Amino acid sequence: MEQIARADAAAFSGGAAVANALVDEAGLRIDKDRRRGRGAGVNPSGRFEPLTRHVFDDGWETLEELPPFKTDVQVEKPRTIIARNTSPDISFDRSINPYRGCEHGCVYCFARPTHSYMGLSPGLEFESRLFAKPDAARLLEKELSKRGYEPRTIAIGTNTDPYQPVEKKWRIMREILEVLEAHGHPVGIVTKSALVLRDLDILSRMAERGLAKVALSVTTLDRKLARTMEPRAATPSRRLEALRTLSDAGVPVSAMIGPVIPGLNDSEIERILESAHAAGAREAGYIILRLPLEVSPIFKDWLLRHYPDRYRHVMSLIRSMRGGKDYDSEWGRRMKGSGPYAWQIGRRFEIAARRIGLNHERRKLRTDLFEVKGKGEEQLVLL
């Protein structure tokens, strides 16, 4: 990504137009007709690839007109479905990802680098070449039935969105919820999609037993910003509507401002919290923008294309919260940042949440209702 680095330097020296030209000449930026409706503007090779590919005109006028990026879904067959973690700065130790890659196309998505492990680009291919796990419910049933399994809340949607558009066809998330409900197992969901309302019947029954809660990520109330930054996610108004519908059905809901981007959407913190509270949310959280690995050049290219006048200011503020770098992966600092500006965002969030009436108490899900069902239980009865 040397050309992106040169563009970054050009922008900071005062020439956004020069920076844009550098990216275009490098053959990294994809023609807008090919990427219409997508978040990323580039499709760089993954960091593990020995070669990089660049499109350029050699002067012989033989450059082929390539087709637009279309969503392609392949089947992935993992051996297990529950992913474990020991991260000290997150509240869960297990999660499920029904899909790899995400069609929502959020340009800032910290999960983009995971596509490099598949030999694919974290750019446009992350949004268009997806992997579905149709065996997820069967694998989950098997893992929950293992002897010695101890139930704790399973988080879903912490990496890629379980209710992204392809879920309408694959319905993997609904099958997962059916298994969790049958076992009396708690689940916490994070999504940017109103499609979560499709499963309102299951979620409301589980919530009545203290087994489910849902967080809607509301990054901005500005439709134009949302459209460019999260092109295939639900509009801000649809997300607030989903919060209200879930809350009215008895499902505990919270709002997640993820991510807070300094100089771009940080001015909306109070308004987002007020709107979420009015829609029924009683808990809220936030995460500062994270730019690990390939996410940094993808985000910076997007910022140069859509907000060139803010580029220097936004990146300066980001680096002020990351020790002078684009990203700091240290536990405890990667989510909230450090320095005066990060402290200011944290205090604004806390004061607004307290004034509005958010986070007065945290809803804990029950684990005492968990029971093993299926073959394991039948064999035990026979014995």
Question: Is there a contact between 198 and 164 (Cβ–Cβ < 8 Å)?
Answer: no
**Inter-helix orientation angle 295-306/2-12, to 10°:** 50
pLDDT of residue 355: 98
pLDDT digit string, tens, across residues 294-310: 999 999 999 999 999 99
pLDDT tens profile 47-92: 998 888 776 666 766 556 778 889 999 999 999 999 999 999 898 9
The rounded distance, in Å, linking the Cα atoms of 80 and 15 is: 50
Q: d(Cα 290, Cα 260) in Å, to the nearest integer?
A: 9
pTM of the predicted structure, to 2 decimals: 0.91
pLDDT of residue 1: 61
Rg (C-alpha) for the chain, rounded Å, is: 22
What is the token pair recorded at 339?
């320095």
pLDDT of the residue at 374: 60
Q: Which residues pair with 188 in a beta bridge?
A: 155, 213
- Residue 92 CA to residue 85 CA, distance in Å, equals 8
Euclidean distance between CA atoms 254 and 28, whole angstroms: 39
Residues of the chain with pLDDT under 70: 1-7, 9, 12-27, 55-58, 60-64, 374-383
Question: Cα–Cα distance between 39 and 19 in angstroms, integer?
Answer: 19
C-beta of residue 127 within 8 angstroms of C-beta of residue 120: no
Give the burial class of 48: count Cβ atoms within 10 A of its Cβ; 0-12 exposed, 13-18 middle, 19 or more buried. Answer: exposed
Structurally, what CATH architecture does the domain formed by 76-98+133-290+328-361 represent? Alpha-Beta Barrel (3.20)
How far is residue 70's CA from residue 35's CA, in Å, rounded to a whole number?
9
- Domain locations in the chain as residue ranges: 76-98+133-290+328-361
**Residue in 360, 358, 335 with CA at minimum distance from that of residue 345:** 335
Per-residue pLDDT reduced to its tens digit, 4-44? 666 676 776 666 666 665 466 555 778 888 898 899 999 98
CB 315 within 8 Å of CB 300: yes
